[in-house]
Structure 1
Amino acid sequence: MSSIRVPEGYDIYQRPFHFHFKNLLRAYGRNRTFICYEVERQDGGSFVSVASGVFTNQFCHRHAELLLLSWLRQLLSPREHYHVTWFMSWSPCAGCARAVADFLQEHRTTVQLSVFAARLYYHWDPKFREGLRRLSHLGAQVDIMSFQHFRYCWDNFVDNQGTPFRPWKELQRNYRSLVTILKDILRVPEGYYIYRPTFYFHFKNLLRAYGRNRTFICYEVKKSFRGYFFHVASGVFTNQFEPGPQIHPELLLLSWLEQLLSPREHYHVTWFMSWSPCAGCARAVADFLQKHHTVQLSVFAARLYYHWEPEYREGLRRLGAQVDIMSFEDFRYCWDNFVDNQGTPFRPWKELQRNYRSLVTILKDILRPVFTTSNGYNLELGHRAAQC
């Protein structure tokens, strides 16, 4: 540990740690927040400890998050890259979440923040839920403290007198419940879900689909850190019709991603699409991936848009991403994570598996190499098709 491990010389005593960090689903009389924090600086290919310690509320009503952010601003160098970890007795309130989000925007190219909360503060209130979503949207890892995290804090931030950490009886059960609640909060930003009839209508994997003039994209963004990928953001985009002309969701999502991504980080982005991209959007995606070499994109389409047209086939070949057809498991995953399903299970339509196999065959046919002849024509799978 660093020589400045605990500014203000502060360790948590054993009894306050058990009282304030106990992961109750409803906790009363716990009006203080404790943050056990660590700051690491990137040094070549590894991270070295810079500082660690504990912050808590000032009784003039300054929240621990605001005190810690103020201290961090003085510590950080704009020329270095940092990973900051917070172990919190309470997740941030709505106001502190906004302050942390502003801090992350201010330091978006230099600071990666991981937040582990023992309990979720007012998790049923829309303002507090939105605060956590925004933190996740801006690239913070937001998670629940597990047994290992409690033990780590006990060993490193508590005046434990050499005694081992002893978990309370309901720790694991409450941990699983809180993970489920947090997953529900973070899975779709801005409270946007697809309604059940909308999902069935627009994602049904028909070979020829009429009257379906909108595209829905259920997306997930994960960031690489120390060999692992963790959740950054997820949600739903669809066509924008107002104001002005229609904008395809691929273009809206690419524009949003431009604001989210850091050039120093590696990402894996997954799209579950009701339609595969049109030719113009495929070019835009290919250009985006050429520009952002740190982004790996996987595209799973429920249906193939104009798959018999050479221009659309060529767009899929040049996408620069993994392109595949949505399977039963993909539909069920979207149902569980992006649909206002009211707790009901996904029920597949009769022809789902048959259509899936047909679409896989068509896509495999599209993605085979194309050879250009001397007279300017493409030879695609033994067929002669005019060059687009």
Structure 2
Amino acid sequence: MIPMSPHMFYSHYGLNTNPPATHLCYEVYRQADLIASGHLTNTNEEHAEEVFIGERFQEAWRNCTIFWYISWSPCDHCMEILLNTFLPRNPLVTLHIIFAKKYKLSSKSNIRKLSYRGVQIHVMTFPDFLTCWNRYVEAEEPFVPWENMHLNYQQAFWWLFEALYGIY
């Protein structure tokens, strides 16, 4: 895996940025053992989630736990792919989606459907950003959090809470 630069990390995961693409860091575990990791972004034709499913996902991972640390919450298009294709074909996969920012085209109803299907969905916290920094970024300096990280977390958390528990 080629590590990403600090600039790339901050430009995608930064809370005051609006990158044109989603970035996705992933970890695949078999029981407690990390067996694969990497990071990717959108292509001209596919969203990062589609790239993972189509190019990175391996048959050997069909009974694994997968963590996605993504810069944006998944859009409805990607959630529909997860709900209608990926999860039904891989019922033994446990998927965790940890997102940095709420994407405007993420519907609460699809978030709730993913949760009902067993997908664990969370907002990134400082330890999550730190994990991504330490595992995926080539940097000699430590991770410096954004000033409004807690405010973003609270806003995204309440949006996610409303989505998961049907409060609109």
Q: TM-score, normalised by structure 1?
A: 0.40
CA contact (8 A) 2:9 2:137 kept: yes
Structure 1: state its 5+ residue gaps.
1-188, 370-380, 384-388
Tell me the residue number matched to 1:232: 35
The correspondence for 2:58, drawn from 259, 267, 276, is: 259
* Percent identical: 29
Confirm whether residue 247 of structure 1 aligns to residue 46 of structure 2: yes
Tell me the residue number matched to 1:195: 5
CA contact (8 A) 1:317 1:366 kept: yes
Question: Per-residue CA shift, 1:118-162, capped at 9, x if unaligned?
Answer: xxxxxxxxxxxxxxxxxxxxxxxxxxxxxxxxxxxxxxxxxxxxx
Q: Distance in 2 between matches of 1:216 and 1:194?
A: 11
Q: CA RMSD in A?
A: 1.8
CA contact (8 A) 1:278 1:315 kept: no
| Secondary structure of 1:194's aligned partner | coil
CA contact (8 A) 1:276 1:304 kept: yes
Tell me the residue number matched to 2:108: 313
Counting only pairs closer than 5 Å after superposition, residues 116-195 of structure 1 correspond to structure 2 as 189=1, 192-195=2-5
Q: How many residues align?
A: 164
Tell me the residue number matched to 1:277: 74
Tell me the residue number matched to 1:296: 94
- Alpha-carbon shift at residue 257 of structure 1 (Å): 4.7
Q: Which has the higher contact order (CA 8 A, sep 6+)?
A: 2
Confirm whether residue 340 of structure 1 aligns to residue 150 of structure 2: no
Higher relative helix content:
2
Counting only pairs closer than 5 Å after superposition, residues 44-83 of structure 1 correspond to structure 2 as none
CA contact (8 A) 1:273 1:300 kept: yes
- Alpha-carbon shift at residue 258 of structure 1 (Å): 4.3
Question: Per-residue CA shift, 1:195-249, capped at 9, x if unaligned?
Answer: 111211210134xx54x2110000000113xxxx2111000010112xxxx2111
- Alpha-carbon shift at residue 364 of structure 1 (Å): 0.6
Question: Per-residue CA shift, 1:283-302, capped at 9, x if unaligned?
Answer: 11123112211100000000
- Alpha-carbon shift at residue 262 of structure 1 (Å): 5.3
Q: Which runs of 4+ in 1 moved over 6 A?
A: none
Structure 2: state its 5+ residue gaps.
none
Q: Distance in 2 between matches of 1:199 and 1:217?
A: 10
Larger radius of gyration: 1
Tell me the residue number matched to 1:330: 128
